[in-house]
Structure 1
Amino acid sequence: MIPRSASPGSFDALPNPRGGSVRPAELALAEAQLALEQRTNPAASLLRAVHALREAGWLGAQRLADALLLVSPLTAAEPPDESDARGLFAAALNDLRAAIGRHNLRELSCSPSLFAHYHALNALISRHTPGYTVTFEDLALASRPLPPVSFSPQPAQRLAHLRARYERALLPVLRAHSSDGTASAAVAALTRAALDELDACLAELAGPDPYDFWRLASACANSLRVSGHLVGDTDARRFHARCNLALADHARGLPLASRSLVRSTLALLWRDYALFGAAAEDAEPVALLRDYGLTVDWHVAGTQESEALWEEGAAQEPGFGAGLRDARTRELGVLTVNAHAYEDFLQTGDAAIVALGEHARDTSHPDKADPGEALQAGDAAYRLGAAACALGLGHVALLADALGLAWRRRAYAGIATPGGGVPDVGALEQGAEALRAMLHTIAAGVAPPPAGPALAALTRAVEQG
């Protein structure tokens, strides 16, 4: 991964030059911005944007548009406690419009800038709805299934020793996080040494189960350091503190990590890879992400300068920005797509569906799945999901990723996760048939509906435990 910081206030993710455009949403958001400037109610325009984004399956953008819709009545309010609503609303609306124009669905889900707006808007909503909170993973992992994640069995004495080491190393890291940024070189060196010790503890805790929490946590800690999220980063501080609490849960004999902890850790690991892509040296964390149903793009550029040149060239592509209006396009409901990208997607989809069918025929019983066949089936689903994500077909991408995750769970059936089971073959068949139906609909030039029952069946199959 190119080490760049995904800090709020900047959009560093690459644009998607051949991605689809949700023009009704773009128009509605422009009308909402005009209404705000003219001090009229933007709610009607925002509601149209929400409906269009929901139909396209752009769930991250839809959630932010939902928050804008809920806050919109406050933009006309004058009480002192609402004086900041208009400014927050305007900034969020402006950045959402800009992000939607980049056609990058992973950015819309994982952008720290967009989440900062989402969090600020929901903080306004919470003033009127006590107890209402949102987290980054609510945006990044919206509607995605999550398998049970275990704590690998550890001898009590070894676990107590590692826990003591972790707590000793954690203290200087938390102190450095809370400093004013003027720490001496000696303090910085001490903090780096403490982070090394934390990483070592997490690596020693990791077990062989693909769905072992400490394996996930170790990868997340390494990713945070590689991407520059170190001293002063709130997410890194919270992550390390929550791992200490997870150690206490492990010591008490709990077999599974809490769902909220797993979701937050997974979202942090995925964030920068989703935004910036992965390089050859990132093969291990990318494989781990695929174990959880998440994919990334591979980038060959090795420096920020070469990435910038790529982005500059992408802006000139016929399928990007203003050029999309001049290119040959197809309409799929609210989604306008580049015709060449559409045809490429259909070819990818056909090949993936054929591969899924072949692997499914070789699976006659849930307890007798061949791991190699199951992994290949999962990879076929992931290829379809990545292609759908690139084109802007959010509903297809979500279902394909869920199916890929279910196949991964079958591949690892021989490695026991406490409470975990093998996804039912019926759910896999239902998911594949739903994808096939979606592709036929798209080939006919019609927008595919949400996955609905098929996604629900896969979610139950993945999360059973």
Structure 2
Amino acid sequence: MSLRSTSVAPFDALPNPRGGSVPFALAALAQALAALDEQRDVARPLRQATRTLRDAGWLAAARFADTLLLASPLALAASVAVAPPPGLPARPAHEHDGPDDSHIRTAFRDALIELSTVLERRNLRELACSPALYAHQRALVDIIAEHAPGVSLAYEDVALHGRPIVGAILSPQPAQRLAQARARFEAALLPALKARLGNGSRAANALAEAAFDEMDACFAELTGSDPYDFWRLAVACGRALRRGVTYWGDEDVRRFYARCNLLLSEHARGLRIVPQSFVRTALALLWRDYALFGASADDTADVELLHDYGLTVDWHVAGTQASEALWEAGSAQAGALAARVAPSRDLGALVVNGNAYEDFLQTADAAMLALGTQARALSLRADGTHGDPATSLLAAEAAYRIGAAAWALGLGHVALLADALGLAWRRAAHATSTPAARDAYGASTANPAPSVEAIEYANESLRAMLHKVAAGVAQPDATPTVRALGAAIASGAGSHSSNNASNTAGSGTSQNAAETTGSSAAVVSPDAVSSAPGGVDAELPR
């Protein structure tokens, strides 16, 4: 994914001319903007926009509209900057004047315009992962927080909204290896944090790059065989963040490696389950550029890693600014041509291009055949296991194909359920392919999978949704089904986590001395257990 290193000029994510649109939501946002300028009721059109976006499955945009709705009373109550008449000076401020809060109205108006602009691009992944869109939403949340303390918004909360996210583990390591890795990592961290990537001399940049390379080497050495080992995710995330420095800056890079240093010290003290908040942060940062700009053939390993966590990308990348401009020009022409020659189809709140709609149905039909074959084989197994891992991986890829096609068309609910089903099949594949070995604490290192019944139910729910879409009916809300499947995925992982924690707490001193840095008992912190999948605050779709 060389896109970031080709130019420092910022440009947005690629448009999606064949994607569906939400004209009622766009009209409602236009009404809200006019009402704001005329000092009228803004809440009514914003509520309509929120409902429309949620019905279409554009959940990230619906969440943004909800934030606008919450901030609308503050924007209407804010003072309006009035320019003085021509030739007259501005009125000086007086002591009895209230604080100047015109910036609230300005921030609200800018956010409203930005949301409308991105909606017209019809790119659902951009709606979820755009840092520019998140900056506007974060500004509104900060304004709301002044009147409602405790309100906050993290980037990963927007990017991963509505998705079940599995947890990550830290594989047991010999004490000597951990101690050496910690020493090397901490020695490289200080010069890396002092340097400003891309802003210093060549010698300073080379020194910083060497320090980051050393820390990445530590990640690679600590990575275990488990596909959900966190250091595997850290290697990919660090590489992606460093590649995007010229575009996003180095703040995320420095913060990520500093947090990894803290996690490494916890690993040395016996932590086995990574806090879910950090897993979500790393996933969102890794997914960001791939979601916005697509992936190339060189990014296969990172795409496979994202698939293990239920995230998909488009296989497209613009290599230079010139090719980006050329692609956008072609997209505009294709969109104009499609609007003239292809009929549109109304699927509830969503209006889709007729040709793109037919292409989606063909893709979904072929993928559902593969899913149906594997589901039938699964139901016929008397032992209740998930069968051959290769066939489970094929089923996961089929689900992800449906998800990718649904994201492109704008079917948000279908896409969310298809991605969650792909995640469930990936977990099933890893559960059957990982040997049922035991770590030094007696806990199984195999990856638990969701139950066969949960996968079959989600598979049939997806089939029913696709039948409704094929009949020209609006897609139903997939949130309850995704939440149930997420709970099934989390419960399987939760049993593994609880077994790991209990076995760790009960292991003897001689075992722990071989795997930790000399502590008499490998302790999993309460925060780690509660943030593990299936714990008291397991991350499920909200």
Q: State the TM-score, normalized to the length of structure 1.
A: 0.94
Matched, 1:23 2:40: no
After TM superposition, list the pairs within 5 Å mapping 1:258-407 onto structure 2. 258-299=275-316, 301-318=318-335, 324=339, 327-363=342-378, 364=381, 365-407=383-425
**In 2, Cα distance between equivalents of 1:168 and 1:367:** 47
Aligned residue for 2:458? 431
Matched, 1:119 2:138: yes
After TM superposition, list the pairs within 5 Å mapping 1:217-256 onto structure 2. 217-228=234-245, 232-256=249-273
Displacement of 1:232:
4.8
Displacement of 1:9:
11
Which amino acid counterpart does residue 349 of structure 1 have in structure 2?
Answer: A
Aligned residue for 2:162? 143
Contact 1:255 1:418 in 2 (8 A): no
Which amino acid counterpart does residue 213 of structure 1 have in structure 2?
Answer: F
**In 2, Cα distance between equivalents of 1:9 and 1:125:** 32
Which amino acid counterpart does residue 389 of structure 1 have in structure 2?
Answer: W
Displacement of 1:27:
0.4
Q: Secondary structure at the match of 2:2?
A: coil
Which amino acid counterpart does residue 299 of structure 1 have in structure 2?
Answer: H
Which amino acid counterpart does residue 334 of structure 2 have in structure 1?
Answer: E
Residues 330-339 or 77-86, more deviating: 77-86
Aligned residue for 1:14? 14
Which amino acid counterpart does residue 441 of structure 1 have in structure 2?
Answer: K
CA-atom RMSD in angstroms: 2.3
After TM superposition, list the pairs within 5 Å mapping 1:207-218 onto structure 2. 207-218=224-235
Q: Secondary structure at the match of 2:395?
A: helix
Structure 2 unaligned residues grouped into runs of 5+ = 80-97, 437-443, 495-542
Contact 2:242 2:250 in 1 (8 A): no
After TM superposition, list the pairs within 5 Å mapping 1:86-125 onto structure 2. 86-125=105-144
**In 2, Cα distance between equivalents of 1:7 and 1:141:** 28
The verdict on how the C-alpha distance between 1:254 and 1:311 changes in structure 2, with shifts beyond 3 A counting, is same
The one of 194, 197, 209 aligned to 1:175: 194
The verdict on how the C-alpha distance between 1:361 and 1:326 changes in structure 2, with shifts beyond 3 A counting, is closer
**In 1, Cα distance between equivalents of 2:288 and 2:303:** 12
Q: Secondary structure at the match of 2:351?
A: strand
Contact 1:293 1:402 in 2 (8 A): yes
Aligned residue for 2:95? none
Which amino acid counterpart does residue 402 of structure 1 have in structure 2?
Answer: A
Q: Secondary structure at the match of 1:3?
A: helix
| TM-superposition CA deviations, 1:305-333 (whole Å, max 9, x none) | 2232111110111468xx63774100000
| TM-superposition CA deviations, 1:331-354 (whole Å, max 9, x none) | 000100000111111111111111
Aligned residue for 2:213? 196
Contact 1:14 1:275 in 2 (8 A): yes
Displacement of 1:11:
4.9
Aligned residue for 2:179? 160
Displacement of 1:420:
5.1
Displacement of 1:223:
1.1
Matched, 1:51 2:66: no
Contact 2:4 2:246 in 1 (8 A): no
Contact 1:7 1:113 in 2 (8 A): no
**In 2, Cα distance between equivalents of 1:200 and 1:107:** 32
The verdict on how the C-alpha distance between 1:362 and 1:397 changes in structure 2, with shifts beyond 3 A counting, is same
Displacement of 1:172:
1.6
The verdict on how the C-alpha distance between 1:121 and 1:75 changes in structure 2, with shifts beyond 3 A counting, is same
**In 2, Cα distance between equivalents of 1:455 and 1:6:** 39
**In 2, Cα distance between equivalents of 1:19 and 1:235:** 31
**In 1, Cα distance between equivalents of 2:46 and 2:20:** 20
Task: Could you list the structure 1 runs, at least 4 aligned residues long, displaced by more than 6 angstroms after superposition.
Answer: 5-9
The one of 147, 151, 171 aligned to 1:128: 147
**In 1, Cα distance between equivalents of 2:261 and 2:446:** 24
The verdict on how the C-alpha distance between 1:8 and 1:63 changes in structure 2, with shifts beyond 3 A counting, is farther
**In 2, Cα distance between equivalents of 1:87 and 1:312:** 32
**In 2, Cα distance between equivalents of 1:176 and 1:271:** 24
**In 1, Cα distance between equivalents of 2:36 and 2:9:** 22
Residues 363-372 or 233-242, more deviating: 363-372
Q: Secondary structure at the match of 2:162?
A: coil
The verdict on how the C-alpha distance between 1:230 and 1:196 changes in structure 2, with shifts beyond 3 A counting, is farther
**In 1, Cα distance between equivalents of 2:355 and 2:317:** 23
The verdict on how the C-alpha distance between 1:298 and 1:133 changes in structure 2, with shifts beyond 3 A counting, is same
Q: Secondary structure at the match of 2:334?
A: coil
Which amino acid counterpart does residue 262 of structure 2 have in structure 1?
Answer: L
Matched, 1:75 2:61: no
Q: Secondary structure at the match of 2:107?
A: helix
Structure label with greater radius of gyration: 2
Aligned residue for 1:449? 476
Which amino acid counterpart does residue 443 of structure 1 have in structure 2?
Answer: A
**In 2, Cα distance between equivalents of 1:8 and 1:445:** 44
Which amino acid counterpart does residue 70 of structure 1 have in structure 2?
Answer: L
Q: Secondary structure at the match of 2:17?
A: coil
| TM-superposition CA deviations, 1:221-262 (whole Å, max 9, x none) | 111122336995221121111111111221111111110000
Which amino acid counterpart does residue 393 of structure 1 have in structure 2?
Answer: L
Displacement of 1:67:
0.8
Displacement of 1:39:
2.4
Which amino acid counterpart does residue 333 of structure 1 have in structure 2?
Answer: G
| TM-superposition CA deviations, 1:274-299 (whole Å, max 9, x none) | 00000111111011111111111112
Identity, % of aligned pairs? 58
Which amino acid counterpart does residue 395 of structure 1 have in structure 2?
Answer: H
| TM-superposition CA deviations, 1:3-29 (whole Å, max 9, x none) | 328999955210001000011111011
Displacement of 1:106:
0.4
**In 2, Cα distance between equivalents of 1:6 and 1:98:** 26
**In 2, Cα distance between equivalents of 1:118 and 1:398:** 22
The verdict on how the C-alpha distance between 1:5 and 1:455 changes in structure 2, with shifts beyond 3 A counting, is farther
**In 1, Cα distance between equivalents of 2:115 and 2:143:** 18
Q: State the TM-score, normalized to the length of structure 2.
A: 0.81
The verdict on how the C-alpha distance between 1:119 and 1:187 changes in structure 2, with shifts beyond 3 A counting, is same
